[in-house]
């Protein structure tokens, strides 16, 4: 894999294969700082499981450092290369596999279950810790983003990080899969129709990634509901979503309330 992709290279590789990796985003020191901000917040909420769960789903609303991550120029450049300059963040949820965890993510296509009306979306998955193959990094099947949404089944498997354990019901040619190992501070970017999955974490460190879902403002929820987004680049002339300003502070009660409302809406949209 190429370490220094220009925006043109990003766009052509992404169009052809449906993903790019790695993208250099932050230094190891900056990344550690961000990880510690999250882990401190986790520790502060240790006796409040509902708030801890919201923190995992909405780190960019509850920690200004994660709002800043979604606006990082390296990520904006990469996402703009494939979606254009107007970008909103629909989610930046954390995918965490604890050390020596059997949790996996089954083969799926992201856009299957978010209730969005179009495919103008890309995910930048930012590694807050090393995501090696042993740690359960993502695997992508190049070119599969050119397929439509294929049939998925809900397995509700306990060891699956996906909400419904959703899994592609057709054969996935795993021998063609590319392992997208990342070091802390790097990101991958993948198309919302790309077949992807990840294995267990066999290492002694947590594997933590923020899956930043960038969408074009022209997208909308099929139901017409206005889910919570932030505008991180360019402009939104469509007004299809509830666009909110960056958070004014850390772990603010008003932000938890916004996240709670959106979480309830997403449960309705996703289940
Ligand atoms: O974190 C993982 O292992 C999987 C994440 C994923 O499926 C995604 O970001 O779309």
Domains within the chain, CATH numbers bracketed = 7-270 (2.60.120.620)
What is the structure's pLDDT at 163? Answer: 81
3-state SS class at 62: helix
Which ligand 1 atom sits nearest the alpha carbon of residue 125? 9
Question: From the CA of 138, how far away is ligand 1's center (Å)?
Answer: 7
Which ligand 1 atom sits nearest the alpha carbon of residue 137? 3
Q: pLDDT tens, 182-219? A: 999 999 999 999 999 999 999 999 999 999 999 999 99
3-state SS class at 146: helix
Q: pLDDT tens, 71-81? A: 999 999 999 99
Nearest CA to ligand 1 atom 9: 211
What is the structure's pLDDT at 4? Answer: 55
Q: Which two tokens stand for residue 151?
A: 């049939």
What is the structure's pLDDT at 5? Answer: 72
3-state SS class at 21: strand
Least confident piece of the model among 88-102, 209-223, 257-271: 257-271
More confident residue, 155 or 200: 200
Under a CB-based contact definition with an 8 Å cutoff, are residues 141 and 191 in contact? no
What percent of the chain has a predicted confidence (pLDDT) above 70?
98
**Which residues line the pocket of ligand 1, CB cutoff 6 A?**
95, 105, 110, 123, 125, 138, 196, 198, 209, 211
β-strand partners of 201: 101
Sheet holding 178-180, edge to edge: 105-108, 196-198, 138-140, 178-180
What is the structure's pLDDT at 2? Answer: 42
Element (H, E) at 207: strand 207-215
Q: What letter would DSSP give residue 246?
A: P
More confident residue, 71 or 169: 71
Question: From the CA of 198, how far away is ligand 1's center (Å)?
Answer: 7
More confident residue, 137 or 165: 137
Question: From the CA of 34, how far away is ligand 1's center (Å)?
Answer: 19
Question: Is the preceding peptide bond at 22 cis, omega within 30 degrees of 0?
Answer: yes
Question: From the CA of 159, how far away is ligand 1's center (Å)?
Answer: 14
Q: What is the pTM (predicted TM-score) of this model?
A: 0.96
What is the structure's pLDDT at 190? Answer: 98
Question: From the CA of 162, how far away is ligand 1's center (Å)?
Answer: 8
What is the structure's pLDDT at 269? Answer: 83
Most informative mutation of 56, 91, 105 for ligand 1 (most atoms within 8 A of CB): 105
Which ligand 1 atom sits nearest the alpha carbon of residue 136? 3
Of the chain, the end-to-end C-alpha distance in Å amounts to 37
Average pLDDT for 222-246: 97
Question: From the CA of 139, how far away is ligand 1's center (Å)?
Answer: 9
Question: From the CA of 46, how far away is ligand 1's center (Å)?
Answer: 25
Mean pLDDT in the chain?
95
Q: pLDDT tens, 31-59? A: 999 999 999 999 999 999 999 999 999 99
pLDDT band at 1 (very low <50, low <70, confident <90, very high): very low
What percent of the chain has a predicted confidence (pLDDT) above 90?
85
What is the structure's pLDDT at 155? Answer: 85
Nearest CA to ligand 1 atom 8: 211
Q: What letter would DSSP give residue 134?
A: T
pLDDT band at 167 (very low <50, low <70, confident <90, very high): confident
Nearest CA to ligand 1 atom 3: 198
Question: From the CA of 190, how far away is ligand 1's center (Å)?
Answer: 10
């Amino acid at each position: 894999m190429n370490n220094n992709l220009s925006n043109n290279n990003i766009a052509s590789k992404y169009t052809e294969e449906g993903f790019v990796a790695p993208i250099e985003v932050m230094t190891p020191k900056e990344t550690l700082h961000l990880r510690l901000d999250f882990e401190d917040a986790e520790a502060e909420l240790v006796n409040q499981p509902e708030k801890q769960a919201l923190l995992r789903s909405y780190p960019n609303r509850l920690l200004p450092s994660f709002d800043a991550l979604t606006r990082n120029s390296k990520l904006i450049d990469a996402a703009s290369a494939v979606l254009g300059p107007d970008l909103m963040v629909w989610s930046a949820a954390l995918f965490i596999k604890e050390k020596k965890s059997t949790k996996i993510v089954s083969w799926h296509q992201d856009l299957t279950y978010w209730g969005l009306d179009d495919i103008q979306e890309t995910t930048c998955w930012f590694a807050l810790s090393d995501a090696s193959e042993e740690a359960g990094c993502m695997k992508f099947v190049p070119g599969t983003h050119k397929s439509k949404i294929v049939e998925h089944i809900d397995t509700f498997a306990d060891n699956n990080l996906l909400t419904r354990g959703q899994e592609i019901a057709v054969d996935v040619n795993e021998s063609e899969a590319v392992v997208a190992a990342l070091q802390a501070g790097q990101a991958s970017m993948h198309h919302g129709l790309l077949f992807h999955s990840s294995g267990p974490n066999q290492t002694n460190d947590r594997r933590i990634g923020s899956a930043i879902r960038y969408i074009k403002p022209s997208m909308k929820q099929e139901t017409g509901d206005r889910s919570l987004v932030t505008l991180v680049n360019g402009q939104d002339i469509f007004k299809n979503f509830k666009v909110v300003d960056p958070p004014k502070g850390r772990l603010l009660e008003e932000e938890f309330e916004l996240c709670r409302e959106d979480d309830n809406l997403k449960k309705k949209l996703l289940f």
